[in-house]
Structure 1
Amino acid sequence: MTDLLASLYPWTKSLHIVSVIAWMAGLFYLPRLFVYHAEASKPGDSRDEIFQVMERKLLRAIMIPSMVSTWLFGLLLVMTPGIVDWGSIWPWAKAAGVLGMTWFHHWLSLRRKEFVAGTSDITGRTFRIMNEVPTIALIVIVFSVVLKF
């Protein structure tokens, strides 16, 4: 199995990077949609319905599949011999960043359910602030992997 993982390493790494890019795009865009949703519509109006369709499609068609594939290819990379030095700090920092992004993904999913139920009371300003969470996680992850401190 380890020989197979080693031979597939360039493919696994490439698919992991593509998955991360797609997931990050969603993590940046969904909170921005929530800003507009919170500020420009009321529960049940036509704009509310349009925002809900956009948010549902983004989450289900792009974000969930890309999060799952990011985790899948990331775990395959972790299992590939010689890729991760668990005695270093960087894999643990990266893991913390990935867990933070995963938490944020689920937090966004719960906020979408509140919009669907008409119970969202989070302001556009709060969504703007929360939109910085994936940026922080991205910085932690990229610097950890590239610098391998």
Structure 2
Amino acid sequence: MDQYYDYIKALHLIFIITWFAGLFYIVRLFVYHIEANDKPSPEKEILTKQYILMSYRLWYIITWPSAILASIFAFTMLFFTYRGNLVLTMPWMHVKLAFVLLLYAYHLKCHQIFKQLQRNEVKYTTGFMRLWNEGATLILFAVVFLVILKNTLSWIFGVVGIIVFSMLLMLGYKFYKKIRERNNS
């Protein structure tokens, strides 16, 4: 199995990228779907129907399969190679796995929102969705920094950096929201 490790790692990385692409785009589609509900007829019905179809295809053809395949290749790397056993003892990996669990929770919450919007049940605002969209970004930053900066001091600074980055994103969002409100007035 060790001779195939780099192939498995490459496939894992490819499906992580497509998984995140799906998560980034699905929440944008949620925003557009919610905004479509404020449009007059027949535009509302046309857009809603299109967003339901686009979301369905993205979610079940790209995002879910990518999540499953990324997980399969991750478990393969961890449990069928000697490197996996060594890596599981490292503190940075424990933190990374916590972020991966957070990613699964984020994915499942997106699935819940997806199912609601498939029934055209709008329970969230576009403002919430725009902030929710940053969740995957924060998880991605955290995991990449943890994987690249494996030593303890570096990943601690990386996690602190993620917290600072998330605060800057929130401030940026509030600034953007004020600009949008001013332009709509």
TM-score for both structures, normalised by structure 1: 0.91
Q: Match of 1:62?
A: 62
Q: Match of 2:74?
A: 74
- What is the DSSP-based 3-state SS (H/G/I as helix, E as strand, rest coil) of the residue aligned with 1:131? helix
Residue 85 of structure 1: CA displacement? 2.7
Q: Match of 2:104?
A: 102
Distance 1:34 1:12 in 2: 33
**Which amino acid letter does the alignment assign opposite residue 82 of structure 1?**
R
Written as runs of structure 1 = structure 2, the 5 A alignment for 1:1-149 is 4=1, 6-41=2-37, 45-79=45-79, 80-83=81-84, 84-149=86-151
Deviates more, 1:95-104 or 1:80-89: 80-89
Which one has more relative contact order, counting CA pairs under 8 Å at least 6 apart? 1
Residue 82 of structure 1: CA displacement? 2.2
Distance 2:27 2:150 in 1: 30
As a proportion of its length, which structure holds more helix? 2
Identity %: 31
Give the count of matched residue pairs: 145
Distance 1:19 1:116 in 2: 25
Deviates more, 1:78-87 or 1:9-18: 78-87
Distance 1:40 1:128 in 2: 15
Distance 1:19 1:86 in 2: 21
Tell me the C-alpha RMSD between the 2 structures. Answer: 1.6
- What is the DSSP-based 3-state SS (H/G/I as helix, E as strand, rest coil) of the residue aligned with 1:119? coil
**Which amino acid letter does the alignment assign opposite residue 96 of structure 2?**
K
Contact 1:93 1:140 in 2 (8 A): no
Q: Which has the larger radius of gyration?
A: 2
TM-score for both structures, normalised by structure 2: 0.74
- What is the DSSP-based 3-state SS (H/G/I as helix, E as strand, rest coil) of the residue aligned with 2:87? coil
Task: Give deviations 1:34-69, integer Å, cap 9, x for gaps.
Answer: 111101236x71211100000000000000100000
